[in-house]
């Protein structure tokens, strides 16, 4: 029994509810929501240490032993992602304080963000696949509200499409769960893994796993990302950053869990398919990033490229590639959040969204310009920034297994990322300044603080990669050896 595992989910929910009652005291709302996210980050650091000393932890809700009850499981992979999600949200909240405006703040902006984080953390921590569905829905309902918050004409239109696509995706999730329950009669992820290993992964089970693949591909934006550019460009900047950092990552996490823990025995079909899908995602994302004229489109297609790149690691499947994927996931959450915040601020400063119409921003805002340069280098994977180590490890895995096509695609995409972001840098930051000194809007101080904190995380993660190597390697080891996870759930007695 480790009640601490449930805190990253339940504390945001409780504070979200408290904030509903504090609707009119905006200052108090800000302070409480920030404290909550910092608290969750501290809890996850404690959890990481506990996992190092005591192995994988689990919490059986109301004492129902697995496989009968619902449970939360904390292994290094999940907790690292919880930690990153909490830090990213905390820094995004600092950005929101100075930019989102009292109208949104009074319309329950902070409660919705906290509920979103609760859903995300719950999805990472749960050890029961139906509970994963429920946490997904908590997260999605909060995201529905956040995307429509403000009620602009185009916002409501895109929100409606986003909600409809997610309803169909959730329907497919339930369909997959029905098939799974019909074939295996269990919903506990460790128990599923054990039963699949016992009976062997017959074609029917592979079919079930492919339905899951479609569901999570829709959520993660793996190949089925047609909904992503539209809906990620309408909400306020900070919501865009949260979506880009968190939502697709939950889908990616679910894909990793499904195909490393539950259905890892038929890689000729499943992992090959994931490899092909990831490759196509990268190609399509690159085309989108190259052809885009407005900064938001370029940024959203960079999210798509990132998704494809991380899932290359799942297709490769060696321990090194997995460690690379964990590193890259953490990096991608931080860097994408910063990229979206900077892009949103550019739009706010110039009032333009087309790359060509902005220029000379670096003369007015030198520090801002160089922060963009840092995030660009990190996304491309230039050492010593955070993207480097992940890319190298995934590349190493690809060389080991001889998947040279995937290797070429992965590193080719880095060049395209560099080109698409450098285009913005050269066109929008250099050149004649389009803003005169008189009507230069200042960047809010809170926004600058959050940029600096993100940049610090990027540099810190790059330079201090050795420091979290213990946790990342543990996460990768568990991913490659699912029996460790299964033993901790089903065979350990308390």
> Which residue ranges make up the site for another protein (CB under 8 A)?
1, 3, 6, 10, 13-14, 17-18, 20-21, 59-63, 72, 130, 134, 137, 141, 144-145, 148, 151-154, 156-161, 163-164, 167-168, 170-171, 174-175, 177-179, 181-182, 187, 230, 233-234, 294, 296, 353
Q: Closest separation between CB of residue 164 and another protein, Å?
A: 7
Q: Is there a contact between 311 and 281 (Cβ–Cβ < 8 Å)? A: yes
Output 20-28 pairs: Cβ under 8 A, ≥24 positions apart: 20/108, 20/111, 23/106, 23/108, 24/106, 26/102, 26/105, 26/106
Helix H or strand E encompassing 296:
helix 295-316
* CB of 34 or CB of 187, closer to another protein: 187
Task: Give min distance, CB of 454 to another protein, in A.
Answer: 25
Q: How far apart are CA 266 and CA 206, in angstroms?
A: 7
CB 233 to another protein: min, Å = 5
Residue 353 vs 480, nearer CB to another protein: 353
Non-local (6+) Cβ contacts of 493 within 8 A are none
C-alpha 484: how far from chain center:
25
Q: Could you tell me the smallest distance in angstroms from the CB atom of residue 11 to another protein? A: 9
Q: State the minimum distance, in angstroms, from the CB of residue 361 to another protein.
A: 19
Contact 47, 104 (CB under 8 A): no
Q: Rounded to the nearest whole angstrom, what is the least distance from the CB of residue 4 to another protein in the complex?
A: 9
Closer residue to another protein, CB minimum distance, 109 or 388: 109
Question: Cα angle at 323 between 319 and 326, to 5 degrees?
Answer: 140
- Decide whether 88 or 159 has the Cβ nearer to another protein: 159
What is the C-alpha to C-alpha distance for residues 187 and 396, in angstroms, rounded to an integer?
Answer: 35
Note whether 96 and 238 are within 8 A (CB). Answer: yes
| Smallest separation (angstroms) from another protein to the CB of 274 | 25
Q: How far apart, in Å, are the Cα atoms of 425 and each of 43, 287, 362, 377, 437?
A: 38, 19, 9, 11, 21
* CA separation for the pair 331, 341 (Å, rounded): 15
Judged by CB, which is closer to another protein: 204, or 469? 204
Which residue, 154 or 404, is less far from another protein as judged by CB? 154
Question: Which residue's CB is nearer to another protein, number 235 or number 279?
Answer: 235
């Amino acid at each position: 029994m480790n009640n601490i595992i449930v805190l990253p989910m339940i504390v945001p929910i409780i504070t979200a509810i408290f904030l509903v009652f504090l609707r009119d005291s905006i200052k108090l709302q800000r302070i409480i929501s920030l404290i909550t996210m910092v608290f969750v980050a501290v809890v996850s650091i404690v959890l990481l240490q506990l996992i190092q000393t005591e192995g994988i932890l689990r919490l059986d809700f109301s004492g129902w032993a697995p496989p009968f009850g619902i449970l939360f499981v904390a292994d290094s992979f999940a907790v690292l992602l919880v930690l990153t999600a909490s830090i990213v949200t905390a820094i995004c909240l600092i950005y929101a304080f100075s930019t989102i405006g009292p109208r949104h703040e009074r319309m329950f902006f902070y409660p919705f963000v906290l509920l979103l984080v609760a859903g995300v953390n719950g999805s990472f921590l749960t050890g029961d696949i139906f509970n994963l569905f429920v946490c997904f829905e908590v997260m999605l309902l909060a995201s529905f509200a956040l995307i429509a918050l403000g009620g602009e004409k185009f916002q409501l239109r895109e929100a409606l499409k986003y909600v409809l696509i997610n309803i169909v995706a959730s329907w497919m999730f339930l369909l997959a769960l029905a098939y799974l329950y019909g074939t295996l009669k269990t919903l506990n992820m460790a128990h599923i893994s054990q039963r699949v290993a016992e009976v062997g992964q017959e074609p029917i089970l592979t079919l079930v796993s492919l339905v899951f693949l479609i569901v999570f591909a829709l959520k993660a934006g793996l190949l089925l990302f047609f909904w992503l550019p539209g809906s990620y460009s309408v909400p306020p900047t900070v919501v865009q950053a949260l979506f880009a950092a968190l939502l697709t990552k939950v889908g990616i996490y679910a894909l990793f869990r499904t195909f490393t823990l539950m259905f890892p025995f038929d890689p000729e079909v499943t992992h090959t398919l994931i490899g092909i899908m990831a490759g196509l995602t990268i190609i399509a994302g690159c085309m989108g990033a190259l052809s885009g004229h407005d900064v938001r489109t370029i940024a959203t297609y960079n999210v798509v490229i990132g998704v494809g790149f991380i899932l290359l690691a799942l297709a490769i499947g060696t321990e090194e590639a997995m460690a690379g994927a964990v590193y890259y996931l953490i990096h991608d959450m931080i860097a994408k959040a910063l990229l979206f915040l900077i892009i949103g601020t550019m739009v706010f400063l110039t009032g333009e969204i087309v790359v060509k119409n902005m220029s000379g921003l670096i003369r007015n805002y030198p520090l801002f310009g160089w922060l963009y340069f840092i995030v660009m280098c990190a996304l491309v994977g230039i050492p010593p920034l955070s993207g480097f180590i992940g890319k190298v490890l995934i590349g190493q895995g690809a060389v080991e297994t001889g998947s040279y096509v995937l290797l070429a695609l992965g590193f080719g995409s880095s060049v395209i990322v560099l080109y698409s972001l450098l285009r913005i840098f050269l066109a929008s930051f250099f050149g004649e300044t389009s803003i005169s000194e008189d009507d230069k809007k200042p960047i809010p101080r809170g926004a600058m603080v959050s940029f600096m904190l993100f940049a610090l995380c990027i540099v810190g993660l790059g330079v201090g990669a050795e420091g979290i190597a213990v946790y990342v390697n543990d996460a990768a080891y568990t991913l490659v050896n699912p029996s460790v996870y299964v033993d901790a759930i089903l065979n350990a007695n308390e």
